[in-house]
Amino acid sequence: MKYLVTGAAGFVGSHLTDALLARGHEVVGLDNFSTGQDRFLEEAGHSDRFTLIRGDLRDGFTLRRGIEGVDAVYHMAANADVRGGLAAPRVDLEQNTIATFDVLEAMRAAGVSRIVFASSSAALGEPEQVPTPETCPIPSQTSLYGASKMACEGFISAYCEGYGFEGYAFRFVSLLGPRYPHGHVFDFVKQLLADPSTLRILGDGSQRKSYLHVEDCVRALMQICEDVRPAIRGPRKFQVYHLGVPAFCVIRDSVRWICEELGVSPRLEFGTGNRGWIGDNPFVFLDVQKAMSAGWAPSHTIESSVRETARWLVANRWILDRRR
Amino acid sequence: MKYLVTGAAGFVGSHLTDALLARGHEVVGLDNFSTGQDRFLEEAGHSDRFTLIRGDLRDGFTLRRGIEGVDAVYHMAANADVRGGLAAPRVDLEQNTIATFDVLEAMRAAGVSRIVFASSSAALGEPEQVPTPETCPIPSQTSLYGASKMACEGFISAYCEGYGFEGYAFRFVSLLGPRYPHGHVFDFVKQLLADPSTLRILGDGSQRKSYLHVEDCVRALMQICEDVRPAIRGPRKFQVYHLGVPAFCVIRDSVRWICEELGVSPRLEFGTGNRGWIGDNPFVFLDVQKAMSAGWAPSHTIESSVRETARWLVANRWILDRRR
C-alpha cells in the first residue's frame, strides 16, 4: 500500500513512517519542518519506498501533490503545543482544525477516502469517568488544543457519513520514547543537565498521568487500520480508539526515575495545585479495552518508557538545544 | 443590560431580539441579511433601545463595533442549512466554526466574557440514548452542520476554562413558529399552495421528530442565562442545555395537521427509508429535564406549533416566494 503521512518528520510521524516502511509499504512523507526534524527521517531516507515532500499542508498544491495516488492518509501533523494555546489561540484552530478540514477536502478531490487521525486524550477535557472509555460523555474542553482535536474528529466523522469516508481517530495519552521533543521528561532532563542541583516542577507533583511508548502507539495504528480493519467495520465508518497503558504514575514517580537515570539528586521545587498549567488534566488514564480487544497490547511500562526517554535525551542533547 | 445578538434578523435572532427588548434590555443586532429578513425586525425597529448593524460577522471591524460595550453576546448567527452541507462543506466550517471563533476572539479583545450559543440537536448525530440527555456519549457526527456546531461548543468551553469566559450552549431540536424560514413545514406548505393535489415527502414519513416553539426557545435562553444564572454556576463555567418538548411526533402526523390547516387532501408520495437525506436523524428526542429543573417549561405542544406555523406561512406567503 501507499500512504501519505502528514507530519512525517515529527515525533509520531517519523516513527510511523519507519514502521510502515518496515512493513513493506510505500510512504509519502509531508512536513513543513516547523517542529519536525531532518534527523528523525535519516532511517527512512535510506528507503527507496520513501518520498519526502517539504512543504506546508496549508498550501493546496503541496497537499494535492502529497495525496495524489495514495491508498490512505495518516494525518499526524498538528500543533502539539498544548500549553501554548492560551498565548496564541488561533494556532490550534488553523493548524489543527482547519488544516484537517483541508486534508479531508483534498482527499475528497483526489478520491482517497481512508484517514487515520492522531487525536488526543486532551480532547476529553477532565473526564469524570476514569479510566475513560471511548463512550464517555461529551466533554467540556479545557484546552484549545483539545477543542481543536475534537473538532477534527467531528469533521472526519461527518465526512464518513456524508461522503463514505472510512475514518479512525486515536485518542492517545502523552507519548514517550526516542525522538521525544517536548513535555515533562524533556523539561526535567533539560533542567537537570543545565543544573543538577535543582528541579522545578509545575504543580505539586501529584498529577496522575498515563504514558504510552511511541512504538506501541504506531503499532496500534497499523494493527487496527490495516490488519483487523475488515473485522471491525460496522454500520458507522468512523471508529475511535483510546490508546494508553492500563496504568498510571504520579509525576513524583517520574521525577525519581529520571533522577536515577541521570544519577542526580536535585532539590525539588514544587508548584502549587494539582495542575501544571491551565488546561492540564490532573488525572489522565484511558480505558484501552477496545484497542486491546482488537488484538493490540502495549509492550512497554510507564517506568521503562520514562527511563528510556531520559537516556535517549541524554544521548541526543542536540534536541534539547534546538531553537525549535 | 446591553446585548449583542448576532443573526438578529434571522428566525431565532429576531424573536430573541424582540423578547430582550420586551424585558427592557438594550440590543445591538448584527446581521448580514444573507438569510435574515428586514421584516423580522419591524417590531424591534420601533424601539429606541435597538441598534441594527448591517454587516458580516467575518468582517473584524463590524464585529468589533457590535461587541463594544455590551454585557454579553447571544451568538445566533449561523449557516442553518443542514441539508446543504454536503454540496458545500466549507460553508459550515467557515460560517459556524470559524465565525464563532472570531466572535470569541473579538469578545476577548473587548473584555466581554459571557456568551450564549445556539447549538443544535444535530450536533448529537444519531444518539443511541433517546431521549438524549446532555451527558450522552461523544457523538459520531452525521452532518457537517452538526460537526461545525459541536466544534463551536468545544472552542467556547476552552475559552471558559482558559480565559474565564462564562458560556451557555443550547442544543435545540428544530424550531417552529412565526418567521419560520425553512424545514419540512415550510417545504410542505410551499408545495401544497403551489399544487394542493400532491405532496412529496422525503423519506417514508416514519421519522420521529421533536419540535419546539421558537418563543419557548428564546424564553429558555433568557431564563437560564439571566434569571437563574447565579444559582447554576458551578466550578465549570460552561453549561450545556438541551431544549425541546417532552414528546415527539412522526412526520405523517405533521403532514395530517398541515393538510387540515390548509384544507387540502393531497395524494402523498413518500420516499424510501427512514431518513429524509444523508445526515437526517430518524429519531430526534431530547431529554430536557436539566432545563426544566432550572424552572423552564415549554408552553406549546408539537401539534399546536405545527398548526400555528402552517397558518403563519399561509398568511405570509412572501417568505415562501423569497429568493433567499
User: Tens of pLDDT along chain A (324 residues)?
Assistant: 999 999 999 999 999 999 999 999 999 999 999 999 999 999 999 999 999 999 999 999 999 999 999 999 999 999 988 888 888 999 999 999 999 999 999 999 999 999 999 999 999 999 999 999 999 999 999 999 999 999 999 999 999 999 999 999 999 999 999 999 999 999 999 999 999 999 999 989 899 999 999 999 999 999 999 887 766 656 568 999 999 999 999 999 999 999 999 999 999 999 988 888 777 888 899 999 999 999 999 999 999 999 999 999 999 999 998 865
Residues 6+ apart with CB under 8 A from A323: none
Decide if B241 touches A, using CB distance below 8 A: no
Instruction: Report which of residues B19 and A228 the model is more confident about.
Output: B19
The pLDDT of residue B90 is 95
Say yes or no to pLDDT of B79 above 70.
yes
- Of the listed ranges A117-131, B42-56, B74-88, B239-253, the one predicted with least confidence: B74-88
Grouping H, G, I as helix, E, B as strand and the rest as coil, residue B25 is coil
Q: Are residues A119 and A196 in the same domain?
A: no
Q: Which CATH number is B271's domain given?
A: 3.90.25.10
Residues in A 289-308 with any Cβ partner in B closer than 8 A: none
Identify the residue whose cell numbers are 509531508. Answer: A30
Distances (CA, A) of B284 to A155, B57, B244, B302: 21, 30, 10, 13
Q: Which CATH number is A60's domain given?
A: 3.40.50.720
Q: Is residue B51 part of a domain?
A: yes
- CB contact under 8 Å between A137 and B136, yes or no, is yes
State pLDDT tens for residues B271-290: 988 888 777 888 899 999 99
Q: Are residues A221 and A261 in the same domain?
A: no
Q: Is residue A187 part of a domain?
A: yes
- CB contact under 8 Å between A125 and B98, yes or no, is no
Q: Is residue B43 part of a domain?
A: yes
How many beta-carbon pairs under 8 angstroms link A with B? 142
Q: Are residues B153 and B191 in the same domain?
A: no
pTM for this predicted structure: 0.96
Residues of B in contact with A147 (CB under 8 A): 151, 154-155, 157-158
Q: Is residue B38 part of a domain?
A: yes
Q: Are residues B83 and B102 in the same domain?
A: yes
The pLDDT of residue B230 is 64
Q: Are residues A22 and A93 in the same domain?
A: yes
Residue B181 backbone phi and psi in degrees, to 5 = -105, -10
Q: Are residues B227 and B250 in the same domain?
A: no
The pLDDT of residue A227 is 82
Task: Indicate the burial class of A40 (C-beta count within 10 angstroms; 0-12, 13-18, 19 or more).
Answer: buried
Confidence of residue B236 (pLDDT cuts 50, 70, 90): low
Distances (CA, A) of B98 to A46, A125, B166: 42, 21, 19
Distances (CA, A) of B62 to B6, B31, B52, B67: 11, 10, 11, 9
Helix (H) or strand (E) holding B106: helix B99-110
Decide if A273 touches B, using CB distance below 8 A: no
Q: Is residue B293 part of a domain?
A: no
Q: Are residues B146 and B18 in the same domain?
A: yes
- CB contact under 8 Å between B162 and A279, yes or no, is yes
Say yes or no to pLDDT of B232 above 70.
no
Q: Is residue B289 part of a domain?
A: no
Query: Count of domains in chain B?
Result: 2
* Boundaries of domain holding A181: 176-210+246-284+299-321
Q: Are residues A53 and A124 in the same domain?
A: yes
- CB contact under 8 Å between B135 and A139, yes or no, is no
Q: Is residue B290 part of a domain?
A: no
Q: Are residues A66 and A153 in the same domain?
A: yes
Q: Are residues B53 and B142 in the same domain?
A: yes
Q: Is residue A106 part of a domain?
A: yes
State pLDDT tens for residues B242-272: 999 999 999 999 999 999 999 999 999 999 8
Residues 6+ apart with CB under 8 A from A69: A2, A110
Is B245:B304 a contact under the CB 8 Å cutoff? no
Q: Are residues B224 and B102 in the same domain?
A: yes
Q: Are residues B30 and B56 in the same domain?
A: yes
